[in-house]
Chains A and B, each alone.
Chain A
Amino acid sequence: DAGVIQSPRHEVTEMGQEVTLRCKPISGHNSLFWYRQTMMRGLELLIYFNNNVPIDDSGMPEDRFSAKMPNASFSTLKIQPSEPRDSAVYFCASSTGVAGELFFGEGSRLTVL
C-alpha cells in the first residue's frame, strides 16, 4: 500500500491567501485525522472524521479553517485567509477506527509570510 499521501509537501504563501492541503488515506481505513505540529504546541488535533463524517472539530482554531471529506479516499484542509501564525507542519493520519495504529502522511510544511 502507498500509505497516507499528502500534498503539497511544502507551501509558501503570503498572508491573506487561501491554502488548501490535501490527503488521501490508506484504502480501507475509515478514520481520518488532521493534526498541526509546531515547536511550541506540539502535535495538535484539528479535526477527525469517521466514515467521512466530521466527529470532532473542537481543535479547529477558528473560522478561517475548514475541512471536508467528500469521499473515503480524499480530504482537504483549507485555510482562508492565511496568517503567519498558521505556519506549521500539517499532518494527515488514518486508522481503522478501532483504537489501533495511526498511520501518518509525510506532512505538509506551510509557511505564511
Chain B
Amino acid sequence: QKEVEQNSGPLSVPEGAIASLNCTYSDRGSQSFFWYRQYSGKSPELIMFIYSNGDKEDGRFTAQLNKASQYVSLLIRDSQPSDSATYLCAVIPTSGTYKYIFGTGTRLKVLA
C-alpha cells in the first residue's frame, strides 16, 4: 500500500462547478497535510495546509480532513480554466519528523 494515494484522473469538470479531489494516507500518526498545485512544466506550489480534523476554507478552496478515516480532500468552488493543473496531496507521516510524502497527483481539467 502506498503511503499517500490519489486518483490520477483526469478529473474533468465544467467551468463554474465544484471540483472535488481526494487523498488517502496509510500512517495513522500523520499530523500535517498539504495540497500543492503543479502546472505542466512548472514546480509545485502550496495551496493550503490543514492540521486539525474538519474544514478549512481559503477563498474558493476548502480542505477537509478526517483523521479517523485517514483521508483529506480539496474542494474548489467556481472552478476556472486556470485551475486546470495537477493537484498533489502531501503528508508528514510521523510526528517529530519533517519528511513530506507526496501522492502521485490528480490531474484536473476545467472545461470552458
Which residues does A use to contact B, with CB under 8 Å?
31, 33, 35, 41-45, 48, 50, 55-56, 91, 95, 97-102, 104-107
Contacts and interface: CB of A to CB of B under 8 A. Distances in A.
Contacts of B100: 33, 45, 102
A55 B97 contact: yes
Contacts of B101: 45
A45 B34 CA distance: 15
A6 to B, nearest CB: 9
A104 B92 contact: no
A45 B51 CA distance: 21
A43 B44 contact: yes
A45 B93 CA distance: 13
Contacts of B44: 43, 91, 102, 104
B103 A99 contact: no
Given A48-B99, A50-B98, 5 more contacts: A31-B98, A45-B100, A55-B99, A99-B31, A102-B100
Nearest to A4: B43
Contact of A99 (B32, B42, B43): B32
Given A42-B105, A43-B88, A98 B43 contact: no
Contacts, number: 53
Given A99-B92, A104-B44, A105-B43, A42 B32 contact: no
A95 B99 CA distance: 11
Given A43-B88, A91-B43, A48 B49 contact: no
Given A55-B97, A98-B98, A99-B92, A104 B104 contact: no
Nearest to A38: B104
15 contacts: A43-B44, A43-B88, A45-B100, A45-B102, A55-B97, A56-B97, A95-B98, A99-B31, A99-B32, A100-B49, A101-B34, A101-B46, A102-B90, A104-B45, A106-B42
